[in-house]
Amino acid sequence: MKTFLLLAAICGTLLADDWPQYRGPNRDDVSAEKGLLQQWPDAGPKLLWTYANAGIGYSGPSVVGGRYYTLGARGDSEFLIALDIDKLKDGAPGEAWSAMVGPLFDWNGNQWSAGPSSTPTVDGDSVFALGGNGDLICVAAADGKERWRLNLPKQLEAEVHPIGGGPKNLGWGYTWSPLVDGANLICLPGGPKGTVAALDKKTGKVAWRSAELTDQAAYTSPIVAEIEGVRQYVVLTNQGLRGVAPANGRLLWKYDRKLGTEVVNSPVVRGSQVFITAGDGQGCVLIRLKRDGDKFAAEEVYANKNMANHHGNVVLLGNHVYGASPGKGWVCLTLDSGEIAWFERSKVPNGSVTYADGRFYCYGERDGAVGLLEASSAACNVISRFVLPKLSTLRKPKGGLWTPPVISGGRLFLRDQELVYCYDVRSAR
């Protein structure tokens, strides 16, 4: 409850069904919505509309006040796009506005992803968006008028952990999603001037950089948590876990563990425990933090290969973590011990997940299959299943359907590159 109230204060005044940022109000892919279908018809829930001009990229949506905000590349530029989802014309929402973010992120030989992958963040009358090349903008939510912009590599000496084939110090591009915390916008530029940066959200001016912490940025997003009574930002890089003070960026603690190149998922915090998982065979880790005055000690509880989630993030409910893991399928992991409670390879394909009203919504990364699962630690019970009517032809040949599902206002939003689908998942009134 403390975490919910803390993050609700950060996001400002929101309706219960708003989804204002990456992974929702609490950055945990847990929706507070009720009154949703507990089982779908054989053909799936009712398709309300399809939008076919979202551009390319893996950006997820923020949904606030009848607007759907996302990022997508059209031609050689990336755009922040706002749709009026309560005003349909010819079966699709109208575009309220679009704002140019920066040039298209891509490179010769890229077979996996092009365009933006970050999710916009909505805060009051402002929207913050990050392009693949590190162009960060703030625009007015009403009309998309630009208020300020920064190019992170040029102006903040920012760096992303390198990966084979990608541009120098850009890897697969900037993919983290900005975090609004009071008057500041919390970012992960990475590089020699500091991994974490706090910007004045009204002007874009730097309030502080984490001078003690200079890891290059990974593909993960920052979260805010209260651990042992101390409010802090928890950050995952390719070098391990770190905790940073909100007032000045001081390094509070770190847990060193090299995690390879493909570090995508955000940390999960419960009390003094911090859980991480990474793909490419890296597995999962649980640490426990213990406070001693103004210092913390990080103790490793376990590190194993029982869950190695790559792109889709995981959901924590009670003492169990749920998510996909290559080779095992969908996994329910006991948080405290790291032991597998159940796994299921065949019923639902690997992909991304979100939770609402007693159900998991699982989105297959290869075939566009969508599964509705009972949220149970006892067994994998697939309640319903359907497949998207059409898949993108613009996706890179080795890319997947990696944009996570979102529940907002009784609607299920699913994206595959330029295609956005909206389904009605409300129970009968």
Among candidates 180, 184, 251, 267, which has minimal Cα distance to 215?
251
The candidate with the shortest Cα–Cα distance to 343, out of 366, 309, 318, is: 309
- pLDDT category at 12 given cuts 50, 70, 90 is very low
Return d(Cα 249, Cα 232) in angstroms, integer: 9
Residue with tokens 């948080």: 335
Segment 86-133, tens digit of pLDDT: 999 999 999 999 999 999 999 999 999 999 999 999 999 999 999 999
Does residue 61 register a pLDDT over 90? yes
Section 161-185 average pLDDT: 92
User: Which helix (H) or strand (E) element contains residue 78?
Assistant: strand 77-89
Q: Are 248 and 208 in contact (CB under 8 A)?
A: yes
Q: What would the 3-class secondary structure string for 233-271 be?
A: EEEEECCEEEEECCCCCCEEEEEECCCCCCCCCCCEEEC
Q: Which residue has the tokens 């018809």?
A: 41
Q: Is the pLDDT of residue 182 over 90?
A: yes
The pLDDT of residue 261 is 84
Q: How far apart are CA 105 and CA 386, in angstroms?
A: 32
Query: Cα 25 to the chain's mean position, in Å?
Result: 11
**Separation of alpha carbons 282 and 296, rounded Å:** 25
Confidence of residue 16 (pLDDT cuts 50, 70, 90): low
Give the CA distances from residue 133 to residues 26, 149, 155, 336, 355, in Å, rounded to whole numbers and listed in that order: 27, 13, 13, 39, 31
Which residue type, as a one-letter code, is found at position 44?
G
346 against 11, higher pLDDT: 346
Sign of CA dihedral 401, 105, 213, 246: negative
Mean pLDDT for the chain overall:
94
- Residue 294 pLDDT class (50, 70, 90 cuts): confident
What pLDDT, on the 0 to 100 scale, is given for residue 213?
Answer: 98
Please compute the mean of the pLDDT values over residues 277-286 and round it to a whole number: 93
The C-alpha atoms of residue 237 and residue 418 are separated, in whole angstroms, by 30
Handedness of CA 345, 346, 351, 353 (dihedral sign): negative
Q: What's residue 2's pLDDT? A: 46
pLDDT at res. 385:
96
Torsion sign over Cα 308, 389, 172, 117: negative
In the chain the domains, ranked by start, together with CATH numbers, are 2-424 (2.130.10.10)
CA 286, CA 23: separation in Å to the nearest integer? Answer: 21
The pLDDT of residue 1 is 41
State the pLDDT at residue 280: 85
Average pLDDT over residues 142-166: 94
pTM of the model: 0.95
First to last CA, the chain: 29
Rounded Cα–Cα distance for residues 283 and 307 (Å): 5
Whether 3 has a pLDDT exceeding 50, the answer reads no
* CA-based R_g, the chain, Å: 20
HSE-up of residue 282 (Cα within 13 Å, Cβ side): 22
Over residues 198-234, the pLDDT tens digits come to 999 999 999 999 999 999 999 999 999 999 999 999 9
Spatial contact of 416 and 392, defined as CB atoms under 8 Å apart: yes
**pLDDT at residue 77 tops 50:** yes
Task: Please report the pLDDT score of residue 5 as a whole number.
Answer: 40
Q: In the predicted model, what is the mean pLDDT of residues 368-380?
A: 97
Question: Are the C-beta atoms of 198 and 42 separated by less than 8 Å?
Answer: no
Mean pLDDT of 258-273: 94
pLDDT bin (cut points 50, 70, 90) of residue 349 is confident
> Residue 59: which of 108, 143, 130, 144 has the closest Cα?
130
For residues 24 and 15, what is the distance between their CA atoms, to the nearest angstrom?
12
Neighbours of 32 (CB within 10 A): 14
Q: How far apart are CA 370 and CA 403, in angstroms?
A: 13
141 by DSSP, 3-state: which? Answer: coil
Six-digit token pair at 192?
A: 């020699």
